[in-house]
Amino acid sequence: MKLLNEHDRESCRNVWIISEFLPDGELHAVSFELLGAARTLAEELGCEVWAAALGRDVSKAAPQLISRGADKVIAVEDGRLEYFNDEFECNILERLVCKYRPEILLGAATSRGRALIPRLAGKLYCGLTADCTGLSIDKETGVLLQTRPAFGGNIMATIQSGGFRPQMATVRPKVMKALEADPIRTGEIIYEAVTEKDGEKIKEIIKAVTEAQSNVNLSDANIIVSGGRAVKGPEGFRLLEELASRLGGAVGASRAAVDSGWIAYPHQVGQTGQTVQADLYIACGISGQIQHLIGMQSCKTIVAIDKDDSTPMMQMADIAIKGDLFEIIPKIIEELDKNGINKGGNKQ
Amino acid sequence: MNTEKNYLHKSYHVEIIPPKQDSEKLEEDLILFSSKLERVMNSGFTASITDNAMGLLAFQGHECIEELGIPIKPGQILIHLNTFHTKKDLHEILTGCLKLGITSILAVSGDGSTRLPKLSPADVEAENAASVTSVELISYIRKNFPQFRVGAAFNPYEPEKHEFEKLDRKLAAGASFVITQPIIDRNAAVDRLLREYPELPVVIEAWMSKKLYLLSDVVGYPIPEDAEYDPIATLQKLEDIYSGCGSYLSLLGFKTQYPIIEEMAKEGAV
Amino acid sequence: MKIAVCVKQVPAAGDAKINPETKRIIREGGKAVVNPFDLYAIEEAVRIKERTGGEVIALSMGPEKAKAALTEALSMGVDRAVLLSDRAFGGSDTWATSYALAKAIEKIGGVDLILCGKQAVDGDTAQVGAGIAAKLDIMQAANVWRIEEIGADTVTVKRINERGWDVVRLAYPALLTVVKDINIPRIPKLRDARAARRAEIPVWKPEDIGADPDKIGLKSSPTQVVKTAPPAARGAETLKIDGSSEEAANVFVSELIRRKLV
């Protein structure tokens, strides 16, 4: 294994981010958020921010990455990079990390990042902290301090992997702050070719499909309208969909609702579903089993609508509306209409 | 209907919980289950065997009987069946019961858990229902396994209008007897049940644990932990009030309470 | 087909209680259970074996009591189970854990397919599956929600992501991590549960799997916990809205506008 071990720690420099792309080849907003976090760390360390961009064509993305805080962009272009291929991307990144020796490497805690980055850490023999909510540099030792929720958010653990390089972390979308685009910011684009070896022992991508229905993308949604057992059936979810559509949000669900077959699994929020960080989470008829609360407690504003105001969800909520959701939600929709609020669908 | 009613009268329903899936002493639990069951058989009572009670995973009554070869009188077994199963398991339970000659089922909605699957409306030929409740389950069993007599639960603590509407749907689906939630005194909803459904066999659940406060969740109001409660006296009172009904004994103590119940049964038979 | 399935014992989620001061969950450790995602991996492994024949081996690393998780796997139809347990493994982070599991899979030998749950619900890292694949240098697919085809040389699966899904084909040996929706894990039958409790579960130590002592346990783990702290309060005031539906909706929407949430 090509270890960047303790002995050459001093030779490692700069903060890398692994850029995240959307299916259409545009950059995912989390790439800019990673750059924002990376800039703060780089300023502390007095080093540069590099962005690795792997894709079919990153010519448009590279200058965007620079305008958002990258000093250098490592551009790797190949037709096979249009779709996510764990092995291929890992092979490329492993080679580039060994070549350029970053001190810190940040990735997105997306379904892609959460598969790719641990594979890379596994190959490189270095530490990786998942889903960090805070990143800073220890003033004395200069190592990266990575803070993440542990035990379902019961405690915040601060973790370091300073004995190994690069120090790696993933960050969920919407956690870090992106910098405004600065069109006059300059940087260098380094093109790196794919080698034959990079393409060895890689899987075959047969088909990739982006769902037309956009109200299922919970991880990027700013607003989520979520339903539980008291929604009573698929019909009830139509009502939630309508509210979500007015607000420009996605539709979530508790495990009980998903297991009852009222809504598909990709909508499930919680321990065995998605973890979400929306600005606004409206829980409709969800009593709040711990498995659910763990998945949505990081949302900024939590609203609960329930007949029973003693439930854990009503207690956790910032706004608790006591009443029958089948009566209240139509009135909320009316009220939104009166105020001219209608986003007419999810804008993710 | 009358024979059924008579049958139920003669019999105490003794609730028995099969060993838990996560038991660390499964073999001991099985022996205990087996001895309780045989005792209930010998007393001429009905063993009422629960189905993942409170959403806690347990083995099924019929598989325990079959696996251990417990001698049973099939007419004295009532198997609980809830809606938290796969269709495959539902069929295995029903056919497993029939194989043993067991033909009494108590169909309830039941309590789920993260580990338990839920029957879907399509599983029980109820495509128009939003979810499977005891009503859909009763209907499915009666249509596809007409050999079973199926009972339903009656909850006197629910709003009466709602509960009686639901009861009518359960009866329409094919339920032929009901077992109430535990009561500890005369109850208006049970009175109405007996008044308006004179032909319906009714079994009254009596709470046989001294820990009355455990009933708080069922009755919907808090019962203080130190509430004084005499289960046997309460059972006798209920038998006086509802002399036309059978008695369902939950959380019965087999060491001290059971001999008393046997005595009560002998006296009642005289 | 020889299938290894990795299982972790985790604390069960208890009842939810909310701290009224901080609006945070008060979590009490429940009893130990099989990581929920791993149940789907076990079930899928057993289903594949039932179709193609072969053998399923469940593998776990943990204290002696983690045998209970393996017993459950055996009850569900796994053929045999192995526990990695030794003081020297203690404190392993995800890197060291993947290393040990990978060494154990090498020791089992001839494994075509490795199944893991998407992540363990106690750590939520989703790192061990990919870590094992990295150490074995084999292909991997995460978030698998359908196995489309088990071929002679390849396995074809459907993976879900935030925006949809894709279909990918991997050559054996391959590692898959599965999501909840892939199947409904069976409830063990009494007969199988009794047999599972009688089964011998061998315990492997670092020397049994040829693990490098410098790559296992707390001191060899790249990540170290520096400190822990309670999470920041969520804000303690709950705005309670009551009254008629019209009033409630009116107050609520005004509040959303005031808080600039819409």
Mean pLDDT for the stretch of residues A149-171: 91
* Mutate: best of A206, A223, A284, partner C, most C CBs <10 A: A206
Complex ipTM: 0.95
Residue owning tokens 């259970």:
C33
| Shortest Cα–Cα distance, A236 to chain B (Å) | 10
Type of residue found at C148 = E
Task: Please report, for chain C, the start and end positions of each structural domain, with discontinuous segments joined by +.
Answer: 2-220
* Binary contact (A260, B131; C-beta < 8 A): yes
What's the pLDDT at A220? 87
Tokens encoding B16: 């028995």
**Predicted pLDDT of residue A152:** 75
pLDDT at A21 over 70: yes
- Average pLDDT value for residue range C221-228: 93
Residues linked to residue A224 through DSSP beta bridges, in sequence order: A250, A281
Q: What is the mean pLDDT of chain A?
A: 93
A214-338: CATH topology: Rossmann fold (3.40.50)
Pair of tokens at residue B185: 């005194």
Q: pLDDT tens, B89-138?
A: 999 999 999 999 999 999 999 998 889 999 999 999 999 998 999 999 99
Q: Are B170 and B134 in contact (CB under 8 A)?
A: yes
The answer, for A317 touching chain C at a CB cutoff of 8 Å, is yes
Q: For chain B, which domains are there?
A: 2-269 (3.20.20.220)
What's the burial of A325, exposed, middle or buried (CB within 10 Å: 0-12/13-18/19+)? buried
pLDDT computed for residue B239 by the predictor? 92
C194 neighbourhood in chain B, CB within 8 Å? 26-27, 67
Instruction: State whether residue B98 is helix, strand or coil.
Output: helix
Q: Test A128 with C223 for CB contact under 8 angstroms.
A: yes
DSSP symbol at C186: P
Task: Please report the residues numbered 139 through 198 in chain A whose beta carbons come closer than 8 angstroms to any beta carbon of chain C.
Answer: 145, 149-161, 163-164
Q: Which chain A positions have a beta carbon within 8 Å of C234's beta carbon?
A: 297, 302, 316, 318
What is residue A44's three-state secondary structure? Answer: helix
> Is the pLDDT score of C14 beyond 90?
no
- Average pLDDT rounded to a whole number, residues A47-60: 97
d(CA A213, CA A198): 35
For residue A10, is pLDDT > 80? no
pLDDT at C23: 75
State how far residue C6 is from chain A, nearest Cα, in angstroms.
Answer: 17
Name the superfamily (CATH) of residues A6-199: HUPs (3.40.50.620)
Give the separation between CA C36 and CA C121, rounded to whole angstroms: 7
Determine the Cα angle at A66 with ends A62 and A68, to 5°: 115
C73 touches chain B (CB under 8 A): no
Residue B56: closest CA among C31, A47, C69: C31
Does residue B45 come out as left (phi exceeding 0), alpha (psi in the -120 to 50 range) or beta? beta
A263 → chain B, closest CA residue: B130
Its pTM stands at 0.94
Q: Is the pLDDT of residue C247 over 60?
A: yes
Q: How far is C130 from chain A (nearest CA, A)?
A: 5
Minimal Cα distance from A271: which residue of B? B114
Specify the CATH class of C2-220 in words. alpha beta
State the amino acid at position B162 in one-letter form.
H
Structural domain spans, chain A: 6-199, 214-338
How many CB atoms sit inside 10 A of residue C213's CB?
11
Predicted confidence band of residue A344 (pLDDT cuts 50, 70, 90): low
A33 and A176 Cβ atoms separated by less than 8 Å: yes
